[in-house]
């Protein structure tokens, strides 16, 4: 079955109209537009939100090149014309935290930051979190089952990622909703981004102060301890930035990943039944959902340190480049029939939803764990789950992350 965001129509011609990033990211037909860009233009210039020029790279192999080739740097302060926070109009006191994160640094700074966080953000720690993540999932589904037509976005995929990562980071429970609210606001476009960023900074400062006074067995306490003891410690600003990066910026992408996964299970009965019959296939389903519904459609900005030619187009040194991950993950040169969900696709794990190269998402294992728990638990407890409205009536969120805005359902427990 072909899968595209609802409302997608055959691609319209670009004509003479200049491509603008904000229009593209809010366009309900952009899956089709991505396909046209990928097949006819390969590399295309467009206007960023501040009207500066930015380049889009849409094919899979080209995207991997931009993400991993050392000719493309990440540090806008050295190589580019301004980071994402700057071009989005963030004031300096806010931008310094958002543009100074691990994703915006090159070696050796990136190596130092990655090494420090990798010492506490380990696969063993994620694995140990699984039982608590399962308990949180069951509690949310218990609550949803008490409602006549629960919305899986509001009742599960919205709160669940925040609850899991707040548990990992030792965030007080009374602040869980605040972290989720500000993390969502950071993906909005306009003044809401600034308010959300300020909220995340305030929460991070408060959390760090709490852990300095009363450390616990959590990730932030360990980061604070490293910061106080390690010779290669984080600066105070870097510590705040690291907490925001790990706790805040990955939340909304996980929300949309889970929502798109639920949408898939609700609208494709053959896949739902296959997973009910063989739950071991859920891990493959997670990868295919990540490929088809790439939560963050754009990579972080990259900046050529010298002019680089891609597809006959020379991108000047210093001009920002985005790898359009959502376009690359539907490149038919790599994924035959790319708009079709195929749980038996042999190379599904080659998707770029978590990036590629030095900046591969450090939270990938956490996101995968959440997906496997969420989808397995839904199908185990409510195998007859169904949408409460026609699929074509669902509304979709259009921003830098994308997914269904609501998924009202009928939850029917096994045996009823």
Cβ pair 96, 385 in contact under 8 A: no
DSSP, collapsed to helix, strand or coil, labels residue 387 as strand
3-class SS of residue 408: strand
Which H or E element spans position 56?
Answer: strand 53-57
pTM: 0.88
CATH superfamily of domain region 21-410? Cytochrome P450 (1.10.630.10)
> How far, in Å, CA of 184 to CA of 16, rounded?
35
Q: What is the DSSP string of 309-348?
A: EETTEEEPTT--EEEBHHHHTT-TTTSSSTTB--TT-TTG
pLDDT in tens, the chain (416 residues): 334 333 333 333 343 357 888 888 888 788 898 999 999 888 999 998 888 899 999 999 999 999 999 999 998 777 665 555 555 567 777 877 776 677 788 888 888 888 888 888 888 889 999 999 999 999 999 999 999 999 999 999 999 999 999 999 999 999 999 998 888 887 776 677 888 889 999 999 999 999 999 999 888 898 888 776 665 677 788 888 888 888 876 788 899 999 999 999 999 999 999 999 999 999 999 999 999 998 888 998 999 999 999 988 999 999 999 999 999 999 999 999 999 998 888 888 899 999 999 889 888 999 999 999 999 999 999 999 999 999 999 998 876 678 899 999 999 765 44
Q: Domain limits of the chain?
A: 21-410
A 10 A CB-CB count for 228 gives 12
Region of 190 on the Ramachandran plot (φ > 0 left; ψ -120 to 50 alpha; else beta) = left
- Report cis status (omega within 30 of 0) of the bond before 357: no
- Encoded tokens for 116: 């420090």
């Amino acid at each position: 079955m072909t899968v595209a965001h609802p409302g997608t129509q055959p691609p319209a011609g670009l004509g003479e109209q200049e491509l603008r990033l904000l229009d593209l990211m809010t366009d309900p037909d952009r899956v089709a537009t991505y396909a046209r860009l990928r097949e006819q233009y390969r590399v295309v210039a467009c206007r960023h939100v501040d009207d500066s020029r930015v380049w889009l790279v849409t094919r899979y192999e080209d995207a991997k090149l931009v993400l991993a080739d050392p000719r493309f740097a990440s540090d806008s302060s050295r190589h580019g014309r301004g980071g994402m926070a700057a071009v989005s109009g963030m004031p300096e006191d806010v931008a310094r935290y958002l543009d100074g994160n691990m994703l915006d640094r090159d070696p050796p700074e990136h190596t130092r930051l990655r090494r420090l966080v990798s010492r506490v953000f380990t696969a063993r720690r994620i694995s140990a979190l699984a039982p608590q993540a399962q308990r949180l999932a069951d509690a949310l589904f218990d609550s949803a089952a008490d409602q006549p037509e629960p919305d899986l976005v509001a009742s599960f995929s919205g709160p669940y990622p925040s609850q899991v990562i707040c548990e990992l980071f030792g965030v007080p429970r009374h602040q869980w909703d605040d972290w989720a609210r500000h993390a969502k606001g950071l993906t909005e476009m306009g003044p809401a981004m600034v308010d959300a960023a300020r909220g995340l900074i305030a929460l991070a400062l408060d959390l760090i102060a709490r852990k300095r006074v009363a450390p616990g067995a959590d990730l932030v306490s360990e980061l604070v301890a490293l910061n106080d003891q390690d010779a290669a410690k984080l600066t105070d600003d870097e510590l705040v930035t690291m907490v925001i990066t790990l706790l805040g910026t990955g939340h909304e992408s996980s929300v949309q990943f889970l929502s798109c996964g639920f949408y898939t299970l609700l609208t494709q009965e053959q896949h739902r039944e296959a997973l009910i019959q063989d739950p071991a296939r859920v891990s493959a389903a997670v990868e295919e959902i990540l490929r088809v519904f790439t939560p963050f459609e754009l990579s972080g900005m990259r900046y050529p340190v010298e002019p680089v030619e891609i597809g006959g187009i020379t991108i000047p040194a210093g001009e920002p480049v985005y790898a359009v991950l959502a376009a690359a993950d539907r490149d038919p040169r790599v994924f035959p029939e790319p708009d079709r969900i195929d749980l038996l696709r042999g190379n599904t794990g080659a998707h770029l939803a978590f990036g590629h190269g030095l900046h591969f998402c450090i939270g990938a294992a956490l996101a995968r764990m959440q997906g496997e728990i969420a989808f397995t638990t839904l199908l185990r407890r409510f195998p007859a789950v169904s949408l409460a409205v026609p699929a074509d009536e669902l509304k979709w969120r259009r921003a830098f992350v994308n997914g269904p805005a609501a998924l009202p359902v009928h939850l029917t427990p096994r045996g009823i």
